[in-house]
Amino acid sequence: MVNESRVDVAVVGAGVVGAALALALARAGLAVALVDAREPEPFDPTGEWDLRVYALAPGPAAMLERLGAWPHAAAARAQPYRAMRVWEDAPAQGLAFDAAQVGEPQLGWIVEDRALRAALWQLLRNEPRVQHYCPARVTAFEAGAREAMLRLDDGGRVRARLAVAADGAWSPLRELAGIRTEGRDYAQRAVVAHVATARPHQDTAWQRFTTDGPLALLPLADGRSSVVWSLRDGRAAAVLALDDAAFCRELGVAFDGPFGAITSTSPRVAFPLRLQLAEAYAGPRLALVGDAAHVVHPLAGQGLNLGLLDAAALAQVLVAAHADAGDPGAATTLARYRRWRESDAALAAKSLDLLDALFRADTPGVGWLRRAGMAVLDHVAPLKRRIALQACGWAGRVPPLAQRLPAQRSMR
């Protein structure tokens, strides 16, 4: 006999975005199936640091707070950053952003991927409206007039009024549904490591633009900094091949910032960089969120933040439909989500793409224009505040889950 279940929404992909969406929908009274190819990795707050960290903005963090996941994640080594410095030639000649510009104690937090997943899964395991299919893979997707049907690799089936692809940049569910993507490879890789420095990170996110690509040092709670160094493919391979001492020297020369010497480094990994946008964020009985919908350059750390805003917006649309006894998978319901998120995410992705191209350009005169532009911008307070609000996730139409928390519920 075939194992089959029926739910309101099937979320495929239990990373941070998918898990947050599943929890938000279940808390609002919808029956949810959560499908993922593997069990979440255990998180030991006394163990090795995860090389995959995020610069989590206040808006998406407020969503996690409302879901009850943030206290667990914050206790597990989240590091607030209260300022951001961006420059090309010298830190003193670049842009300076401070939390006071947006009326908050911090601009965001640096937090590990495993910590966020563990915090969400701790809550999901005790949520009675969530059925877990993990590990399980979707092998077929069929969209009908009233529901979608997902076939799983264990022979089971899940019928849902809506399926959500939250299964990453190479989303198998998006492919099964026939939704195409457009984009291009950057011919860059991001080299990632955690490093110790001679002087403290000052609770500040630092980013230098180079002709190879942006180089960011993000503060960690143990006093080290997380490096995200975007390099052309060949240069990235050469940097990865260096021994620890040579890597520290090379990084110190490239960063040329206020930390002094780079004194030690963790092992290093690299991942390829790509711009990718789905041609549509929804299809028959299907919605896309997170990297399944958009993959952006990491220069501003917006990937996860955009994904969580997708989840918050989709949750708002689906919960409203549920409250009106509507169909969460109806074309009219999904059209509201598309209108909300497609243009916002595409604008963010293309803006980051333009910034990367601008700062890598070596045409005569362009460098002077970049530096002059940053100098002017640094003295235009209203524009700087708008940029900071955008980075916080509080520009444009903000989903209720991601709106500012009342002052009495201020976050660590």
Query: In this structure, are 367 and 220 located in the same domain?
Result: no
Query: In this structure, are 43 and 58 located in the same domain?
Result: yes
Between strands 32-35 and 130-133, the pairing is parallel
What amino acid is encoded at 396 in this protein? Answer: G
* Mean pLDDT over the full length of the chain: 90
Q: How many residues does the chain have?
A: 412
Rounded CA Rg of the chain: 21
CATH classification at residue 254: 3.30.9.10
Query: In this structure, are 263 and 302 located in the same domain?
Result: no
Higher pLDDT, 72 or 28: 28
Query: In this structure, are 231 and 349 located in the same domain?
Result: no
Please report whether residue 391 resides in a domain: yes
Query: Above 80 in pLDDT, residue 397?
Result: yes
Number of domains in the chain: 2
Query: In this structure, are 59 and 130 located in the same domain?
Result: yes
Domain that holds residue 53: 4-79+109-182+275-396
Query: Above 90 in pLDDT, residue 42?
Result: no
Arithmetic mean of pLDDT, 18-28: 98
Please report whether residue 175 resides in a domain: yes
* pLDDT value of residue 393: 79
Please report whether residue 94 resides in a domain: no
Query: In this structure, are 147 and 53 located in the same domain?
Result: yes
The residue from 244, 273, 302 where one domain ends is 273
| pLDDT tens track for 88-110 | 877 777 788 898 888 889 999 99
Please report whether residue 408 resides in a domain: no
CA distance 136 to 200: 44
| pLDDT tens track for 322-381 | 998 889 999 999 999 999 999 888 777 777 776 666 666 666 655 656 666 666 556 667
Q: Any idea which of 51-55, 190-194, 254-258 has the lowest mean pLDDT?
A: 254-258
Place of tokens 């520290």: 248
Please report whether residue 84 resides in a domain: no
Query: Above 70 in pLDDT, residue 400?
Result: yes
Please report whether residue 138 resides in a domain: yes
The residue from 222, 251, 273 where one domain ends is 273
* pLDDT value of residue 166: 98
Higher pLDDT, 87 or 15: 15
User: Mind giving me the DSSP string for 138-199?
Assistant: EEEEEE-SS-EEEEETTS-EEEEEEEEE-S-TT-HHHHHTT--EEEEEEEEEEEEEEEEESS
